Structure formats: C-alpha cells, structure tokens
C-alpha cells in the first residue's frame, strides 16, 4: 500500500518539490540533490532543513506575486533549519525570540550567524540567488503551517509532530 502524499497548508510535497526544482534549480534534479548534499554535510545530525516561501508555492505569501516577479534571479530562497543545536550557531542579537526563533541570516543581517556564513556563500553560488537561512524550533513550523497557512517542504531530516 502506498503512503498518502503529505499536504502542508494546501500544497502537496510533490507539488512543492516540483515548484522548487523548476523555479530555483532550473528543472535540474541533480542541482537540487547537490544543494541537499551540501546541507547534509554541514548541518548537525538532528537538524531538519525545510524550504518555505515562493520557491515552493510559486507565489509570494504577502502579496501573491509570482516567484522572480521583479525579474530573473530576483527572488530569494527561504531556508529554515529546524532543531536545537543549530540555534546555538546564531548570536544573541540574531533572535526574534531568544532560543526559539531567529531572524534570517541574509544580506540585511549578515553578522548574526558567523558559523553559517561559509555554507550560505556556497548555497548562493549554487543557485545564483540569495539564500536566507533562519533557525527555529519544530513547533514554530507547526504554528506557521496550521495557524498561518504557510506550507513548507522538508528537504532533509524530520520534524517532530507536536
């Protein structure tokens, strides 16, 4: 018996992976696999990585604009690292909620997670667009999905279900 595809806030993981592969990786599954391999090499063992935002939905959450609405290579990738250990990689000023939910490591906040800077640089080179990296606890992802209606695609690891 086959397992039912996971649906998060109205989108199946199959749809989200297809969007991500097409929009961020030019339709090339090998480029996505290389991205995932880079994450697996660098992240702590009990850390999950999820992709959120327009790269998986095809549209921006705040205004429904399509991915790359301002032109090719203009949309960023919203990568979220989920787990306790990776939160230690962020400086205290890098948190929205101390020990629970960080600001995104981005061009706007490049100093908040020095240990993640080399990984971020490599990921940006791979996809030729900004990659913003946020850290959080698994229950925050539950809130985003069920209370805020924001889907996410699990790339590696597993999230605990509250």
Digitized pLDDT (tens) for each residue of the chain, 162 residues in all = 456 668 887 889 999 999 999 999 999 999 999 999 999 999 998 999 999 999 999 998 788 899 989 988 889 999 999 999 999 999 999 999 999 999 999 999 999 999 999 999 999 999 999 999 999 999 999 999 888 888 999 999 988 655
Domain range enclosing 29 = 7-151
For 87, phi then psi, to 5°, come to -65, -25
Q: Is residue 16 part of a domain?
A: yes
Measured CA to CA, the distance from residue 88 to residue 94 in angstroms comes to: 11
Q: Is residue 120 part of a domain?
A: yes
Q: Is residue 105 part of a domain?
A: yes
Q: Is residue 34 part of a domain?
A: yes
State residue 71's pLDDT score.
87
Give the C-alpha distances (Å, rounded to integers) separating 11 from 16, 26, 116. Answer: 7, 21, 29
Q: Is residue 92 part of a domain?
A: yes
Q: Is residue 1 part of a domain?
A: no
Which uninterrupted H or E stretch holds 126? helix 117-127
Measured CA to CA, the distance from residue 26 to residue 23 in angstroms comes to: 6
Q: Is residue 156 part of a domain?
A: no
State how many domains the chain has: 1
Measured CA to CA, the distance from residue 41 to residue 156 in angstroms comes to: 11
Q: Is residue 63 part of a domain?
A: yes
State residue 1's pLDDT score.
47
Q: Is the pTM of this model over 0.85?
A: yes
Measured CA to CA, the distance from residue 74 to residue 80 in angstroms comes to: 19
Are 145 and 8 a contacting pair, CB within 8 Å? yes
């Amino acid at each position: 018996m086959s397992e039912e595809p996971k649906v998060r806030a109205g989108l199946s993981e199959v749809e989200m992976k297809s969007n991500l592969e097409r929009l961020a990786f030019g339709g090339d599954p090998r480029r996505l696999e290389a991205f995932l391999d880079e994450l697996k090499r660098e992240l702590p063992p009990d850390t999950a990585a999820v992709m959120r935002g327009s790269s998986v939905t095809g549209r921006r959450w705040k205004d429904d604009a399509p991915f790359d609405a301002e032109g090719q290579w203009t949309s960023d990738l919203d990568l979220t690292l989920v787990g306790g250990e990776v939160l230690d990689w962020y400086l205290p000023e890098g948190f929205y909620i101390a020990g629970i939910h960080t600001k995104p490591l981005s061009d706007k906040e490049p100093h908040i997670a020095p240990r993640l800077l080399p990984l971020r640089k490599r990921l940006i080179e791979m996809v030729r667009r900004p990659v913003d990296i946020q850290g959080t606890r698994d229950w925050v992802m539950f809130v985003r999905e069920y209370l805020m209606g924001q889907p996410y695609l699990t790339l590696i690891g597993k999230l605990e279900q509250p």
